[in-house]
Amino acid sequence: MLTEDYRLEIINSEGRKYLKQLSSAKVGDVITSLGPHTLSELIARSEEPLPVDIILEGPPKKVFELQMRSVQNDVQQWVIALQDVTFIRETQERTQMQNRLATVGQLAAGIGHDFNNIMAAILVYTELLLQEQNLPQKFEKRLNIIKQQIEQATNLIHQMLDFSRSSIMAETQIDLHPFLKELEKLLSRTFPETIQITLDGEPEKYFVNVDPTRMQQVFMNLAINARDAMPNGGKLSFKLSSLSCGETGNKEYPFLSAGEWVMVTVSDTGTGIPEDIMPHIYEPFFTTKEVGKGTGLGLSQVFGIIKQFKGHIEVKNTGEAGTTFIVFLPKNITSSASDEEQIKNTHLDGSGQQVLLVEDNPATSKALTAMLEMFEYKVVTAFNGLEALEHLQTMEFDFVMSDVVMPEMGGVELYHHIQAEWPGLKVLFVTGHPLRGKEKKLLEQKGVSWLQKPFTIQQFSQLIETFLKDD
């Protein structure tokens, strides 16, 4: 409470705590300002129905709500009510951010479905052309470039789908050395010239089972954080090495289980991470960046992806020398043939078998038909689930290949009809949307499998061989 001449007369314990942050005044002193606001400014706003925000930029940033009212007794006095709403405002901002991300995610999921349909048709036709005999070398080179661009476009849409948590982890075996070599080239083109980027590693194979798109996201997130920590330039280094962990464990890294590991060390010469921040770096929405310059999701996403691949991540603060992250991934000892070799060695034979293809996108339907016919399958097409049921009433099929999202009747409803009337008939879903919720539960049922668009001919043939043999 203030007197008529604005001297502090009465204050409770909570108010005393807040006042220390807003003013140096004590009981009996005249208050001239609170935070960045003069008292005359606050008095002028005393009749406003809503409280006045008093923001202290910090660090740490603090937000107070203030209401000031005049009290008329024998003499005029002023009552000031203060509330620390910092936590409430931070919670509101995080909720708003999540809502924004959810909106972007819904948009991304919708775009992703259409985009994946387009890419599916282009990829299938590209691979069909690569199967042609006596294909001139210059055409083969051009088609492989098209295929690479399709893969990059597909990776982009998968990153968009991360917003909606609609993406899935599609594990495949990769060698991390050429993978990181390509990332080094990308970063060198896009990062400031003041940042030197290097990649070191012994000349050996570093095979791991991961989703390449998600691994690129991991190292891009780490690289971007390093770039932001070096505003005046510096060095960003990637180092590949192998680590063998015996049954007795590893003293330096006790969390590693016995086996062979690939280590990727990502180091920068930036400002480092303050010790009080270190325990929170993997927490979702925790960020030390300015509003609008970071969501606080980067390192939490890195942590989640690495854990999903049964890996670990360790961080070391090297003081003024910067920060070092070490990513540990289980090493895959066996290697696999290249994609080109696998495609040429595909021996799927559909002779004498009839397939019902259910797809509402005309271009995708034609591309998938061409692919199935390449394997000697006889193909009957349907635009949606209703049309598919009409064919099922009059014809026999070895299996059904169906999209999920279609007009009038989608793939899930069609599946339930097939289960009821033709329980022995297998269904393969091909979709631009990953299966989620009730749809995902179908994967656990016998005779059901799925592919996400776009997929390669090799991926299709491998799945079909397993799919048809599984009784």
pLDDT 10s digits, 297-317: 567 778 878 887 889 988 887
- Which residue matches tokens 């890195």? 302
Q: Residue 188 contacts by C-beta under 8 Å, 6 or more apart in sequence?
A: 197
Say yes or no to pLDDT of 57 above 90: no
Say yes or no to pLDDT of 285 above 60: no
Q: What is the pLDDT of residues 154-200, one digit of tens each?
A: 766 665 554 444 445 557 788 999 999 999 998 998 899 999 999 99
Confidence band for 289, pLDDT divided at 50, 70 and 90: low
Say yes or no to pLDDT of 337 above 90: no
Pick the CATH number of 341-469 from 3.40.50.2300, 3.30.565.10, 3.40.50.1010, 3.80.10.10: 3.40.50.2300
pTM of the predicted model as reported, rounded to 2 decimal places? 0.48
Confidence band for 338, pLDDT divided at 50, 70 and 90: very low
Domains of the chain by residue range: 13-84, 170-336, 341-469
Q: What is the pLDDT of residues 256-272, one digit of tens each?
A: 888 999 999 999 999 88
The predicted pLDDT at position 95 comes to 73
The predicted pLDDT at position 97 comes to 56
Taking CA atoms, 193 is separated from 221, 416, 429, in Å, by 19, 58, 47
Fold of 170-336: Heat Shock Protein 90 (3.30.565)
% of the chain residues with pLDDT over 90: 37
State the Cα–Cα distance between residues 277 and 466, nearest whole angstrom.
Answer: 49
Confidence band for 131, pLDDT divided at 50, 70 and 90: confident
Say yes or no to pLDDT of 20 above 80: yes
- Please state, rounded to an integer, the average pLDDT across all residues of the chain: 82
Confidence band for 420, pLDDT divided at 50, 70 and 90: very high
Say yes or no to pLDDT of 468 above 90: no
Q: How many CB atoms lie within 10 A of CB 308?
A: 13
Highest average pLDDT, of 89-93, 424-428, 448-452, comes from: 424-428
CA dihedral 136, 142, 143, 145 (to 10 degrees): 150
Say yes or no to pLDDT of 105 above 60: no
Backbone angles phi, psi at 402, to 5 degrees: -135, 140
Say yes or no to pLDDT of 281 above 80: no
Residues 19-30, mean pLDDT to the nearest whole number: 90
Residues 359-381, mean pLDDT to the nearest whole number: 91
Taking CA atoms, 58 is separated from 55, 78, 293, in Å, by 9, 28, 18
The predicted pLDDT at position 448 comes to 66
Residues 124-147, mean pLDDT to the nearest whole number: 87
The predicted pLDDT at position 310 comes to 87
Residues 352-360, mean pLDDT to the nearest whole number: 93
Long-range interactions of 288-295: CB distance < 8 A, separation 24+ = 289/228, 291/93, 295/97, 295/101
Q: Which of 9-23, 126-140, 168-182, 215-229 has the lowest mean pLDDT?
A: 168-182
Annotate 145-161 with three-state secondary structure: HHHHHHHHHHHHHHHHH
Q: What is the pLDDT of residues 36-51, one digit of tens each?
A: 999 999 999 999 999 9
Say yes or no to pLDDT of 399 above 90: yes
Residues 407-418, mean pLDDT to the nearest whole number: 91
The residue ranking higher by pLDDT, 167 or 99, is 99
Say yes or no to pLDDT of 141 above 50: yes
